[in-house]
Amino acid sequence: MQTITSKENSLIKHICKLKEKKYRNEYNQYLIEGVKLVKEAIEEHANIEYIIISEEAKSSELVAKYLKNVLQSTEYIQVPNNIFKLISEVEKPQGVLAVIRKNLEDIKIDYSQDIILALDGIQDPGNLGTIIRTADSVGLTQILISKGTADPYNSKVIRSTMGAIFRVNIIECDNFSKTLKMCQENNYKIIVTSLESKQSIYDLKLKKKVIVIGNEANGVSKESLELADERAIIPMLGKTESLNASVATGIILYEYVRQKISH
């Protein structure tokens, strides 16, 4: 155990920088906060660079319950509560935070999966995190994201994934259209949802499909629309004409589950 007591300490300053996307990109690191997330990161063998624990947290019940063994066997840094507040991004910190190194390997797309999820400009961090969580729950091991999508290493995204961020490969595509075309070359059909389509998602055979989920306000981009092999609609029975993006994604991914288990 190390102890840091000055807020001028270079690691403390470095951690504060990681709250901003630009520094997360520069250093290829991101922050996770909270007892459960740190526990998941350890269990999933994420690349943990530092674990920071506040004085208060060391004797908290929550930490005792979830991280007792960790604190006995892992290197961590202890800081006073007032310094923890500086690095924390939540109102009521649990006093546990870690710096994680992004997975920098050149991740190849796994073309053996039935479904590839491709996010085309999802903006809301809560939506993005929930989508990653849902994708993990149906066994997807990867998600493609376009340049215009929110930063998956934003703290709100991470929180909403409930740990799924450590299991799902997030593949950031420099050229989204090109990546979609590569999927087509590997025998996938590109599916976009469209309010104008007459084809219901329930009539699609959800196998070897790339599901493109568009931006909350504007839907999928023109480029993706042009590449689409099929357009499909989630049929609605009420007056509301649109669904929350993470709910829409859940509906489509679980239609895939339904088809898979009923065969």
What is the contact surface with a second copy in residues (CB under 8 A)?
126, 130, 133-140, 160, 162-164, 167, 200, 202, 234-244, 246-251, 254-255, 257-258, 260-262
Taking the C-alpha atoms of residue 231 and residue 237, their distance in angstroms, rounded to an integer, is: 19
Distances (CA, A) of 238 to 98, 189, 233: 45, 30, 14
Nearer to a second copy, 15 or 165 (CB): 165
Nearer to a second copy, 178 or 198 (CB): 198
Taking the C-alpha atoms of residue 43 and residue 98, their distance in angstroms, rounded to an integer, is: 14
Nearer to a second copy, 187 or 240 (CB): 240
Query: Shortest gap between Cβ of 185 and a second copy (angstroms)?
Result: 26
CB half-sphere exposure, 22, CA atoms < 13 A:
1
Query: Shortest gap between Cβ of 113 and a second copy (angstroms)?
Result: 11
**In a 10 Å sphere around its CB, with 0-12 CB exposed, 13-18 middle and 19+ buried, how is residue 52 labelled?**
buried
Query: Shortest gap between Cβ of 250 and a second copy (angstroms)?
Result: 4
166 CB contacts (<8 Å, ≥6 apart)? Answer: 40, 41, 44, 46
Query: Shortest gap between Cβ of 222 and a second copy (angstroms)?
Result: 22
Q: Which pair of structure tokens corresponds to residue 175?
A: 């050229």
Tokens 């259209």 correspond to: 177
Nearer to a second copy, 222 or 239 (CB): 239
Q: Which pair of structure tokens corresponds to residue 95?
A: 């006093």
Query: Shortest gap between Cβ of 55 and a second copy (angstroms)?
Result: 27
> Hey, is 2 helix, strand or coil?
strand
Nearer to a second copy, 172 or 216 (CB): 216
Nearer to a second copy, 29 or 215 (CB): 215
Taking the C-alpha atoms of residue 42 and residue 44, their distance in angstroms, rounded to an integer, is: 5
Query: Shortest gap between Cβ of 253 and a second copy (angstroms)?
Result: 9
